[in-house]
Structure 1
Amino acid sequence: MIYKAYFLFNLASGKTVEEYEKWSIEVNHPAAGRVESIQEFHDYKTVATLDGSMPAYQIIEEILISDVEKYKKDITAPEMAGFSEEWGSWVSDWICILTERVA
């Protein structure tokens, strides 16, 4: 079964969306490309809700995962420790929502 994970988060104090975009292209995307269980990875900056207000989160990461248990092992592997710490310096107030397709 294919799953999608959505990481919704705000940026850490002092970080800008423009800085995050650059970091994501240079560091985040290449790191995701090395994770065997990730089939696709996309970042989105939020711009508004349908009523025009600002969303609760600044960034959404959409990750297509081939195997959830393998993904959990992949992202907690020792070789990912440095990346995980760096990602943690960019984000605050985050949540991960794991989904599977219904229809």
Structure 2
Amino acid sequence: MNRMTTQEVEKYMNANNKVSIIDVRETEEVRAGKIPGAVNIPLSLLEFRLQDIDKSKEHVLVCRSGNRSGMAAQLLQSRGYNVINMDGGMLDWDGPTE
């Protein structure tokens, strides 16, 4: 599984404004703030929302600490998606939020 630190993700986003960010936290958690432009698909619904995820793109997966996004990355990767897990999650994120 590909991984990036929060700092690497922020640099990647700054260099590529079309980065797909999928936040797999629950909706209540996302209300506290998310990475700008991130799409919220809770881990509990991910398998049911695969049709909403473009298989031709690379996706950065985010959660609170990096554990749930790691599980999401494994699931998506096993289904042929190109994914990156953001290690440290939103706990380590120092970039902007919305």
TM-score normalised by structure 1 residue count: 0.27
When Rg is computed on C-alpha atoms for both structures, the one with the higher figure is 1
Normalized per residue, the structure richer in strand is 1
